[in-house]
Amino acid sequence: MTDRLRVDDRFTIEMTPPTAERVGELAREGFRSIVNLRTPGEKDEVLSPTKEGEVARSHGLAYLSIPVSPQDMNEAIAERFDREVAGLPGPVAIHCASGRRAGLFTFMHVAHIEGLSGDTAAAKAEAMGFQFGTPEMRALFTRYVDGGTTQGGAP
């Protein structure tokens, strides 16, 4: 994976948490929203979610924090992600610590928008460079895409 994975015109996955300077760069690049999936106090925290939100808003960006640890990823979080991300102005930069959580939830969301099956969406994500990391993560992905629903969210 590189430092960034552009999923489509609306969503880009950042592979590292942004610094205050990077938040400003994202605004200058034309992003209109940032989604942070890190939990408060997570290892190697660059900015706390609260501080990151303040910095984002100072640059005119919408900011959403959905704290989820790698151990707590589940369908309920995916449903919340679908619902809340759908209302954000795009383009949207989404991050966690390494891009894995951000990629998982973003690709699930996009799969619903595009009407893809779990296996087709997983293959598309992998072809774009996303790595699931574990069989359990891939199983969560395909299970949710095949059975979950989004609340709106067209790009």
pLDDT of residue 6: 95
For the stretch 2-12, what's the b/e string if a residue is b when 16 or more beta carbons lie within 10 angstroms of its beta carbon? eeebebeebbb
Tell me the whole-structure pTM to 2 decimals: 0.89
pLDDT of residue 73: 87
pLDDT of residue 149: 45
Query: Degrees (nearest 5) of the Cα angle 102, 76, 11?
Result: 30
- Taking 70 as the pLDDT cut, the residues of the chain under it are 1-2, 148-155
